[in-house]
Structure 1
């Protein structure tokens, strides 16, 4: 076999190996990917039960209920068009409250309830941690 044909064969094998590795990585990551949905998307039937997804929206006022065990909460997420009941067991972020934005990672059960594994509270761009806000107010009042 000529040297030119050997180099061409080697280059084709390298390209094929890279494509194979990329396809293998994409198939492995597909199981770990979480897609973002709003309650309106869920109402349209775009989500299969058991699929890992992210649900985002606002916590509806008056919907937050704490269970007797102290760590399980039930609440409703809404986007103004539809609502989704959510259950979460764990410690929620300090910014989590009724009327605030939330992103939850988890899965839907066959009954249509979202079982959250992780809760992320969202805030607006004007948010300032209470410690910083308190420090700013005390430093303003001490100014000469």
Structure 2
């Protein structure tokens, strides 16, 4: 075989290997591409029990129930189309409360309840600490403040 043909064969083999690796990676990640499933996604796709996923949505108002053990929490997650019952055993984040966003990591059990192993509470991107709530400055207030400030020598 001539050198020119050897380079061509080597290039084709490398190209086939590269395409094969890409297809393998794509097939392995196809179900993991979404950051989380909504309750509607979870219901329509029929998540099999025990398969680890992330479930995201809003915590249903008046759904949080704490078990007598003080550790287990029962709640419901909704996307306003479907609602999924969920449980979590552990210390919930401070921002976890009814009517707020949550991403729960875990799996469905055989009864269709989502058993969370980790909770990620989502907050509003316009979040402001309670002690600063209502404090906004318009241009006039900033100008007035700048005029009244003096620099100590």
TM range (shorter): 0.7 to 0.9
- Structure 1 segments of 4+ aligned residues over 6 angstroms from their partners: none
Aligned alpha-carbon RMSD (Å): 2.8
Counterparts in 2 of 1:21 and 1:91: CA distance versus 1, 3 Å: same
Residue by residue over 1:85-124, the C-alpha shift from the partner in whole angstroms, topping out at 9 and shown as x without a partner, is: 1011222221110111111122111110001122111222
Structure 1 portions without partners, runs of 5+ = 138-142
Counterparts in 2 of 1:42 and 1:29: CA distance versus 1, 3 Å: closer
Tell me the secondary structure at the aligned position of residue 14 of structure 1. Answer: helix
Paired residues, what number?
137
The answer to whether the 8 Å contact 1:34/1:53 transfers is no
Counterparts in 2 of 1:125 and 1:42: CA distance versus 1, 3 Å: same
Give the TM-score normalised by the residue count of structure 1. Answer: 0.76
Larger Rg belongs to: 2
* Cα offset, 1:127, TM superposition: 0.5
Separation of aligned partners in 1, 2:62 and 2:51: 28
